[in-house]
Amino acid sequence: MIATRFTERFGLAQPIALAPMAHVAGTELASAVSNAGALGLVGGGYAGTQGPERRAADELARCPPGRCGIGFITWALALDPAQLARALALRPACVFLSFGDPRPFAAEIHAAGVPLVCQIQDLVQLEAALAAGAAVVVAQGTEAGGHGARRATLPLVPEVADRLRERAPDTLLLAAGGIADGRGLAAALLLGADGAVIGTRFWAAREALTADAAIARGLAASGDETVRTAAIDALRGVPWPAEYSFRVLRNDLTAAWAGREAEAERQRGTLAAAYRAARERDDYAVAAAVAGEAIGLCSERESAATLVARIGAEAADLLRRGATLDFRKR
Amino acid sequence: MIATRFTERFGLAQPIALAPMAHVAGTELASAVSNAGALGLVGGGYAGTQGPERRAADELARCPPGRCGIGFITWALALDPAQLARALALRPACVFLSFGDPRPFAAEIHAAGVPLVCQIQDLVQLEAALAAGAAVVVAQGTEAGGHGARRATLPLVPEVADRLRERAPDTLLLAAGGIADGRGLAAALLLGADGAVIGTRFWAAREALTADAAIARGLAASGDETVRTAAIDALRGVPWPAEYSFRVLRNDLTAAWAGREAEAERQRGTLAAAYRAARERDDYAVAAAVAGEAIGLCSERESAATLVARIGAEAADLLRRGATLDFRKR
């Protein structure tokens, strides 16, 4: 069994956290991941500020008490900060904030005695995470599915690790983006992370809220078949800050619009109704099936328990064999 | 000492290859890397087709006989294919082709008994590399400095490893992009690579042809301070195929043009003279200082021998400690 500061501090059997994916990580997936010995998180998404959503607090309330965390899109939470108090009242295992300034929420989270997890995409954001007193920093690379930015996981993680060692040695570090199996987890640990946040691999798990039609597309895709673009949010009129873009499976919409961000921006919101309708009828030629490059490492829909156990065992096996320093047999 | 199929097949002490960087990897750097027990390569660049360059064959001729390889930009080599015969006559340790279709050159390279190394940026390119009978495939992620494309190293390497295991199990795999220290090398090996191609870290080596002013900028930069854009090649009028872009340190030129690729394309070549003049006067506010995201892991100018030895020793140490499965002490 792999022991890290992350497994120790959160009482886990595996150094793995579920990415709190909006519309994907509900009660069932978060609970299954936690029950398998990793850290399950419910995706709080836009905190209800961008239209109807499953209420994250309701989802969290049905998880094993105290064993699951909750994630929010920080700029959306800022539009309805009362969502945070509802979540904290349920005593989550952590609050995981991504995409925006965590500092306005830090005092409330610390006062509740709940660990603050801050996801960052570059070193500028690391400063805000440290100022917020993050217990855990998640360094997310551009290969991740969903929203993100430009730095890649492999060089970002050791650079963040070096800064944390100097500036905040008790702050844990998780790697996110591109990790879907034991190879990725083992690599993340040697790069200096205390564990890995896994999204895409769990997006295709049996317990995920992901639509079957989206998963079917994903499991058939290679990692080449994703694209990162800001055009989708512009066209559907979701007010994402300019520094973030959206990685999704390529489809008719991205074929038409990826790379035409400026033009999409001028047409902001014009596709909102059509996009919503496409989602409602599970039409993933238009609506986004949200997956990262690691989708190319996923070929089956499996249970979260199977995935957690296999990823952990694969990583342990690779680490044990790596110590022979003999890689001649592949 | 780390043993892989790559060290075995090329008679190396470390599973490390020098990226054949144009205008950076000349006789002195390639020889120093080979003398340190890794695989040195001379950067053949544009094969002289885009203006005066140091002649790669002349550089290779001064390296330790048979111990260094040579790299070419494939689409440029296609403009003057006779450059290949000149290189092969010197019996290089390998010919390393990047950025273009390797198939037209494969027969000549195989006939000379020289191993063909094909650098790829996605799975479509893997097909061409296999059809060309590559002895080694280099999977290069978007975080790499210089020219490249969109996939990231961390998820690309295991996906390519899976395909090679099924389709061409004797073909070696190297990881490129984002690797500058023992952490990156150890991670690459656990991801399924037989070794790592390192560029940026050697770009800043004592023996590199890199201008002092460029290195000074690089060593002061974090990994956030690079950007990938196709605008520079458009403005300076170098005919790169549309699928490739250029990762460089941010400067005045990228501040003005990154993200405005379509407009730069409409002004193709208009900055050619100004760009060349900026290069000649070492003005890296305009000319590109070419570095990848791993520049954030580089803080000193060191000798290639020091770098090879340290990266190899660090990787071995991490791999040995990883086998305890106990990462609680950082």
Q: What's the pLDDT tens digit per position in A201-238?
A: 999 999 999 999 999 999 999 999 999 999 999 999 99
- One domain for residues A64 and A106: yes
Q: What is the least distance, in Å, from the CA of A142 to any CA of chain B?
A: 8
- Chain A CB contacts of B222 below 8 Å: 123, 159
Q: Do A328 and B4 touch (CB under 8 A)?
A: yes
Burial code (b: 16+ CB inside 10 Å, e: under 16) for B80-98 equals eeebbebbbebebbbbbbb
**Has residue B60 been placed in a domain?**
yes
CB-CB neighbors (< 8 A) of B229 in chain A: none
B161: chain A residues, CB-CB within 8 Å: 330
Identity of residue A113: G
- Do B130 and B193 share a domain, yes or no? yes
Tokens, residue B211: 């201008």
Shared-domain flag, residues B131 and B170: yes
The alpha helices in A192-251, defined as continuous H runs, are 200-203, 212-220, 231-236
Cα B19 from chain centroid (whole Å): 3
Chain A residues whose beta carbon lies within 8 Å of the beta carbon of residue B223: 123, 151, 155-156, 159
The pLDDT tens digits of the residues spanning B216-241 come to 999 999 999 999 999 999 999 999 99
pLDDT at B51: 83
- Judge whether A88 lies within some domain: yes
What pLDDT shows up at residue B206?
Answer: 98
Provide the 10 A C-beta neighbour count for residue B62: 14
Query: Is the complex ipTM higher than 0.95?
Result: yes
Does A226 share its domain with A313? no
Q: Is residue B53 part of a domain?
A: yes
Shortest CA gap A289–chain B (Å): 18
Contact B187 A192 (CB under 8 A): no
| Secondary structure class of B3 (helix, strand, coil) | strand
**CA B251, chain centre distance (Å):** 22
CATH of the domain at A84: 3.20.20.70
Residues B192, A330: C-beta atoms closer than 8 Å: yes
CA distance B111 to chain A (A): 27
Mean pLDDT on B22-44: 97
Residues 149-178 of B with CB under 8 A from A: 150-156, 158-159, 161-162, 165, 169, 177-178
Residue A214 lies in a domain: no
The verdict on B103 and B252 lying in the same domain is no
In a shared domain, residues B58 and B116? yes
CB B143 to CB A155 under 8 A?
yes
CA closest to B169 among chain A residues: A330
Q: Could you tell me if B3 lies within 8 Å of chain A, comparing CB atoms?
A: yes
Query: Do the Cβ atoms of A177 and B154 come within 8 Å?
Result: yes
Of A33-42, B22-31, B43-52, the poorest mean pLDDT is in: B43-52
Is the domain of A237 the same as that of A192?
no
Name residue, tokens 């050791």.
A158
Tell me whether residue A215 is in a domain: no
- Residue A11 sits at the chain B interface (C-beta within 8 Å): no
Chain A contact present for B17, CB below 8 A:
no
Query: Is residue B284 domain-shared with residue B313, that is, in the same domain?
Result: no
**Taking CB atoms and an 8 Å cutoff, what residues of chain A touch B177?**
152, 154
Whether A225 and chain B come into contact, CB under 8 Å, resolves to no
Task: Classify residue A114: in a domain, yes or no.
Answer: yes
Number of domains making up chain B = 2
pLDDT tens-digit map of B271-288: 999 999 999 999 999 999
Show residues of chain B in contact with A169, CB under 8 Å: 330
H-state helical runs in chain B:
5-10, 27-35, 56-61, 74-77, 82-88, 103-111, 123-131, 153-167, 182-191, 200-203, 212-220, 231-236, 252-257, 261-266, 272-280, 304-322
- Range B187-215 burial, b when 16+ CB lie within 10 A, else e: bbbbbbbbbbbbbbbbbbbbbbbbbeebb
Residues in chain B closer than 8 A to A192 (CB atoms): 183, 330
Say if residue B71 is in the same domain as residue B135: yes
Give me the residues of chain A with pLDDT under 70, please. Answer: none
The amino acid sitting at A160 is V
* Contact present, B295 and B181 (Cβ < 8 Å): no
> Which DSSP category does A297 fall into?
G
| Same domain assignment for residues B117 and B265 | no
Stated pTM of the model: 0.98
Q: A-chain residues within 8 Å CB-CB of B194?
A: 327, 330
Residue from the list B2, B158, B224 with its beta carbon closest to the beta carbon of A122: B224
- Provide the total of helices (H) and of strands (E) in chain B, helices listed first: 16, 13
| Nearest in space to A21 (alpha carbons), one of A165, A174, A177 | A177
Query: Running DSSP on this structure, what letter comes out for residue A114?
Result: P
Residue B314 domain-assigned (yes or no): yes
Cβ <8 Å between A322 and B186: yes
Could you report the per-residue pLDDT of B238-266, keeping only the tens digit for each?
A: 999 999 999 999 999 999 999 999 999 99
Q: Do B8 and B107 belong together in one domain? A: yes
The pLDDT of B109-138, averaged and rounded, is 98
CA quadruple A253, A259, A263, A266: dihedral sign: positive
**Nearest Cβ partner for A156 among B223, B259, B319:** B223
**Closest by Cα among B19, B84, B11 to B304:** B19
Closest of B152, B183, B293 to residue A193, by C-alpha: B183
Question: Which pLDDT band, with edges at 50, 70 and 90, does B45 fall under?
Answer: confident
Q: How far apart are the first and last CA of chain A?
A: 23
For chain B, say whether A216 makes contact (Cβ under 8 Å): no
Interchain contact, A178 vs B294, CB within 8 Å = no
Residue A118 β-bridge partners? A97, A137
Q: CB distance from A299 to chain B under 8 Å?
A: no
Contact B322 A3 (CB under 8 A): no
Domain containing A195 equals 3-209+300-327
| Residue B64 forms part of a structural domain | yes
**Residues with Cβ within 8 Å of residue B40, at least 6 apart in sequence:** B18, B25, B29, B30, B31, B32, B33, B34, B63, B67, B68, B69
Task: Note whether A195 and A230 are same-domain residues.
Answer: no
Query: Is the predicted pLDDT of residue B330 greater than 80, yes or no?
Result: no
Please name the residue of chain A whose CA is at the shortest distance from the CA of residue B195.
A327
Q: Give chain B's mean pLDDT.
A: 97
